[in-house]
Structure 1
Amino acid sequence: MKRALLLAAACAALSPFAASAQTLSSGPVVGAGNTLLSISAEGKSVRTPDLAVFSAGVTTQGKTAGEALSENAQRMTAVIAALRKAGIAERDIQTSNLSVNPVYGQPKRLPDGSFEQTDPVIIGYQATNQVSVRQRKLDQYGKVIDTLVSAGANQVNGPAFQIDSPDGAMDEARLAAMSKARARADLYAKAAGLRVVRVLSISENGGWAPPPAPPPMFARADMASAPKASPVAAGELEMTVTVNVSYELAQ
């Protein structure tokens, strides 16, 4: 009985080392005399965008914060109403920025060209309200922007063209990447007098992401006299996927 207990204790003490050994050997293992080949390949697919994301808003100034914000609220209400009238759904309009900031006067320039060293003086306040908009009818995008400017928007940022449901295009790029990886593996194997036995591991790097929006563009007062529909070209979007595949090669 005592011997059995000692044997059980010894097995318990060794079990953590056994688990550790299993963890260390969890990577790809090739057969004796075989070769490990790692391939990185890129696949692409091209789609026409079906979504344009942009922001529009109003910036106003006043002697007090309340004055600037009050005028801003009035003009922004008209801008949002114009979006709804243009057919933009409620779910596609989201406030992205609402802020009130002081406006400081410029320091007095001295005769020697330097500026007078005084504490900044607040001469007014600036209120900004912006909404992020998803435009689903791309052929109406230019018309919507012109309508917003006419309604009082003096800030326009975008568009960033996107694909509403990119999964299908991404899967197409994945298949292309895997096909390219296998063709490249066969090429290397043939050159080395070997053959591809099996796939050991597959991993994916990165993927498609919506392009960043361009910096804000402030609408000028004379934009109200612009053409009825500003020209917009959506072009194409390219989805890219990179896969890393490990193969086992043998004679």
Structure 2
Amino acid sequence: MRKIIMGLALAASCLVGAGAALAEDAARRITVTGEGVARAAPDMAVLTLGVRHQAATAAEALTATNAGAAAVLARLSEAGIAARDMQTSGLSLSPIWDRSNDHNVPPKVVGFEASNTVTIRARDLSALGGILDAVVADGANEFRGLQFTLQEPGPLEASARKLAVADAIARAALYAEAAGLRLGPVMAIREPSTQTTPMPMMRAEMAMGDAGGVPIAQGELELRAEVVMEFKITN
């Protein structure tokens, strides 16, 4: 029994010693967050436009909207927008109600409204202004947003991540030097789960569409990356 007790005591002592060593090792580390920002001019625009008409009957509203949408799609094809870059994103037909202020009078249908929206990807930004001008002439009377982006965002994302790592290393080295310590090897590295998506950042030198039609400011895209790195430090 005495041997068993002594063995348990020795094991406990070893565990305590190992725990203390781990705690000391963890205490001699520095954790920093690095940020990287990469910028590039956009090479593609995603926009949603549509045709909306009102008429006395549902058939008339739908016919007018269909005709306008067909003309717009044809114009987009002529302008070089590929079929894979055009997608119908909304169709609707709804009654127009006349609601009297008199609560004793029930609302009545006085007409119908139909709409057809399409989302397109424009890969030639130099022609974007002219395309918008042309589709308006062909019947597009509704715009629901324009976003500039990149056809291949991978290289820009990689640049931002590299800059984030370089920033983290520089920060860790600065802190270690200021504390009179030496920066050791990287012990851990991780990327936060929340990532910032590319957002347009307008700058003074923004390019304006000069192909005629609607003026377009392309600006510049900015992508931010963040990385958390843990380093060992020594005296």
**TM-score bin (small chain):** 0.7 to 0.9
Aligned-pair CA distance for 1:120: 2.8
Distance, in Å, in 1 between the alignment partners of 2:26 and 2:86 is 62
User: Quick check: 1:197 aligned with 2:181?
Assistant: no
Distance, in Å, in 1 between the alignment partners of 2:137 and 2:171 is 57
Q: Is the 8 A contact 2:197 2:224 kept in 1?
A: no
Partner of 1:65: 58
Q: 1:38 aligns with which of 28, 31, 35?
A: 31
Aligned-pair CA distance for 1:83: 0.5
Distance, in Å, in 1 between the alignment partners of 2:158 and 2:65 is 45
Partner of 1:162: 149
Q: Is the 8 A contact 1:51 1:161 kept in 2?
A: yes
TM-score normalised per structure 2? 0.80
Partner of 1:79: 72
Aligned-pair CA distance for 1:139: 0.7
Partner of 1:246: 230
User: Quick check: 1:93 aligned with 2:86?
Assistant: yes
User: Aligned pair in 2 of structure 1 residues 229, 151: CA closer, same or farther (>3 Å)?
Assistant: same
User: Aligned pair in 2 of structure 1 residues 87, 50: CA closer, same or farther (>3 Å)?
Assistant: same
Q: Where do 5+ consecutive residues of structure 1 fail to align? A: 1-24, 109-114, 213-226
Percent sequence identity is 36
Query: Which residue identity does 1:184 align to in structure 2?
Result: R
User: Aligned pair in 2 of structure 1 residues 84, 126: CA closer, same or farther (>3 Å)?
Assistant: same
Q: 2:117 aligns with which of 130, 150, 153?
A: 130
Partner of 2:204: none
Q: Where do 5+ consecutive residues of structure 2 fail to align? A: 1-18, 201-210
Q: How many residues align?
A: 204
Q: 1:53 aligns with which of 41, 46, 69?
A: 46
User: Aligned pair in 2 of structure 1 residues 38, 117: CA closer, same or farther (>3 Å)?
Assistant: farther
Q: 1:171 aligns with which of 144, 147, 158?
A: 158
CA RMSD after TM alignment: 2.2
Bigger mean CA deviation after superposition, 68-77 or 191-200: 191-200
Distance, in Å, in 2 between the alignment partners of 1:52 and 1:208 is 19
User: Quick check: 1:152 aligned with 2:139?
Assistant: yes
Aligned-pair CA distance for 1:187: 1.0
User: Aligned pair in 2 of structure 1 residues 156, 80: CA closer, same or farther (>3 Å)?
Assistant: same
User: Aligned pair in 2 of structure 1 residues 200, 236: CA closer, same or farther (>3 Å)?
Assistant: same
Partner of 1:207: 195
Distance, in Å, in 2 between the alignment partners of 1:86 and 1:209 is 29
